[in-house]
A and B are shown apart, each in its own frame.
Chain A
């Protein structure tokens, strides 16, 4: 058996962002892997210390496109925790609506990219077509298809008037049947089964060791969802089940995502039904005192964590965050071991990689 080292970049891996891999092969199988990140390192953790807390909301929303609402909302939660600000109940629900809309769009994008990676172009088109309902909803409500600019410290900066609520209800209704169909297709379609079942398996012990979170962890039977474990915002009043699978393969990860997207539809409907009247944001903000706080949220890819330290000025002493993708790269070593080269693009995309988030 010959040993060979090849280098793969975003072109070969069907990635829309730059990430490089040095893959050691035994014959046509992967023996080992070295991940080479840093191609989009922008020093953002340094930049946030040179901007005040209000400017940072705008900067953090531009960290990444697919989870662009999770960053500012979690950052705002950290500031609110340091300053002891209780955001109005209506704002809690509106933050949840924005997060869940982004979650559906993000999960569908991941499933579409994988369909594309295995040459199932009609399926790719279909998933993107379904996702388009959410993109239009974002454009209609927030005025933008990616960055929603929904958060401020102390609440939100958008409202849902009655006609927007009716529109969103209709959009959710339009999502249900296609999402159920997509779930069945990813679960049972023989062509997809052949490519995705028992491929890129991450055993649950390895998942614990690699400390993965989000859909990658839940596909291995790890019952961890920040919305349940450390409830924040409106999630302590919303009813949902944590989507779980046990196989730990590419198929299981996609089934978790599609089940979650379907639950997000239900969560948005619950938010709209329960939406309390009242202000969108606290009237006056207190001075932000010196202090430190942790804020966590369940971003589309899993647990997102922020640490904020302040000294009484408007500038953070330190603002650090860890994205869920950060641990997934290491888990790829386990998933790819023994897999044929042809499966590498699919498996890499199955962790829903977010490179702008990882590099910062």
Chain B
């Protein structure tokens, strides 16, 4: 445990130096000095011991922040919050859409698991002309959220599916519900929605009976009756 803390602190210090040689450095990082999920204090500690703000957690949080800053630019900062049980959530607003791919690669290097993707229209989205997508990653129990801010119109994000296989469905769902283009997705078909539905229904008014393919309500009976007339 003590060893682990020390190596992590070293790592944070040496990282700015290797920023220039990043591609080479990134490959050798996991075994050398980067905090991986194996280094985290999980199994050997009882739950009670995990709760206090240990130095190991601090070092882990600093390590993640340093890795992101190195990958996505100096101005990338992570704000960490801990809940009453000591579970960390990290929040990071990426400086630009271009920073998403390198930041996601850095999370993959840290053995992060893509947990969820949340596209949304924030408060006063129309006024500000902005939309956001939050990518939530699991880092051995801690959750890191990377948020990208995109224009409301003509929004484009790179696909993370080549890095995280399970991003496939998240991005297919994102593309059909919101007006966002995912560039480089290997299989950009609709996932849940029928082809008769309009594009991006979460951004426009679609009657509920249309949305559910007339599974309920008057629209269903209209369809049934229209079918009867055709038969006659």
Point out residues on A near B: beta carbons under 8 Å: 37-38, 41-43, 45-46, 81, 86, 208-211, 223, 226, 228-232, 235-237, 290, 292-294, 296, 303, 305, 307, 309, 311, 317-318, 320-322, 326-327, 329-330, 359
Do B192 and A359 touch (CB < 8 A)? yes
Inter-chain contact A305/B201, CB cutoff 8 Å: no
* B:178-232 near A, CB below 8 Å: 190-194, 201-202, 208, 211-212
Residue of A41, A46, A232, A359 near B85 (CB, 8 A) is: A232
Does B118 lie within 8 Å of A236, measured CB to CB?
Answer: no
Across the interface, do A236 and B85 meet the contact criterion of CB distance under 8 Å?
yes
Q: Are B120 and A309 in contact (CB under 8 A)?
A: yes
Given A223-B43, A327-B166, decide whether A322 and B192 contact each other with a Cβ distance below 8 A: no
A322 contacts B115, C-beta separation under 8 Å: yes
Assess whether B208 is in contact with A209, with CB atoms less than 8 Å apart: no
Query: Which of B51, B85, B143, B211 is A294 in contact with, Cβ under 8 Å?
Result: B143
CB A284 to nearest CB in B, in angstroms, measures: 19
Min CB–CB distance B19 → chain A (angstroms): 29
Closest to B43 in A: A223
Q: A37-B192, A294-B89 are in contact. Are A43 and B118 (CB under 8 A)?
A: no
Contact B165 A81 (CB under 8 A): no
Cβ of B84 within 8 Å of any chain A Cβ, yes or no, is yes
Pick the contact of A228 from B42, B83, B114, B168 — CB < 8 Å? B42
B87, A231: Cβ atoms under 8 Å? yes
Q: Are A210 and B166 in contact (CB under 8 A)?
A: yes
**Which residues from chain A contact B145 at a C-beta distance below 8 Å?**
294, 307
Would B114 and A211 count as touching, CB distance under 8 A? yes
What residues of chain B lie closer than 8 Å to A311, measured between beta carbons? 123
Which of B53-61, B99-107, B133-141 lies at the interface?
B133-141
Q: Which residues of B contact A296 (CB under 8 A)?
A: 143
The CA-CA distance from A329 to B140 in the complex, in Å, is 23
Partner of B134, one of A228, A231, A307: A307
Say yes or no: A81-B83 contact (C-beta < 8 A), given A230-B141, A309-B120, A311-B123.
yes
Chain A residue with the shortest CB-CB distance to B114: A211
Contacting residues, chain B, for A229 (C-beta < 8 A): 42, 140-141
Say whether B118 contacts A41, CB under 8 Å: no
- Most chain A CB neighbours (cut-off 10 Å) among B50, B118, B212: B118
Contact A37 B191 (CB under 8 A): yes
At the interface, yes or no: B116 with Cβ under 8 Å from chain A? yes
Which chain A residues border B190 with CB–CB below 8 Å? 38
Q: Is the interface of A mostly helix, strand, loop or mixed?
A: mixed
Chain A residues near B80: list those with CB within 8 A.
none
The one of A43, A326, A327 that contacts B212, using a Cβ cutoff of 8 Å: A43
User: What is the CA–CA distance of A294 and B85 in the complex, to the nearest angstrom?
Assistant: 14
Cβ-closest 9 pairs across A and B: A229-B141, A38-B192, A318-B120, A211-B166, A322-B116, A320-B118, A236-B47, A230-B87, A41-B192
Give Cα distance in the complex from A115 to B169, angstroms. Answer: 30
Chain B residue, CB-CB nearest to A212: B166
CA distance A231 to B114 in the complex (A): 20
A236 CB contacts on chain B under 8 angstroms: 47-48, 50-51, 85
Task: Give the interface centre of A231, A293, A294 by most chain B CB atoms within 10 Å.
Answer: A294
Name the CB-closest residue of B to A311: B123
**Complex alpha-carbon distance, A50 and B170, angstroms:** 23
Chain A contacts for B165, CB-based, 8 A: 209-211, 330
Closest to B124 in A: A311
Cβ B201 vs Cβ A46 within 8 A: yes
* CB closest residue in chain A, given B123: A311
Contact A38 to B193, CB < 8 A, known contacts A43-B211, A228-B42, A231-B47: yes
Q: How far is the CA of A42 from the CA of B43 in the complex (A)?
A: 40
Question: What is the CA–CA distance of A228 and B141 in the complex, to the nearest angstrom?
Answer: 8
- Please state if B140 and A330 are interface contacts (CB–CB under 8 Å): no
> Taking A43-B211, A236-B48, A322-B115 as contacts, is the C-beta distance between A317 and B136 under 8 angstroms?
no
With A86-B84, A294-B136, A318-B118 as contacts: A38 and B169 at CB distance below 8 Å: no
Given A42-B212, A209-B165, A211-B164, verify A307-B116 contact (CB < 8 Å): yes
A42 to B122, CA, bound (A): 23
Give complex CA distance A223, B114 in Å. Answer: 17
B99 to A: closest C-beta gap in Å? 20
Check if A43 sits within 8 Å of B208, measured CB to CB. Answer: yes
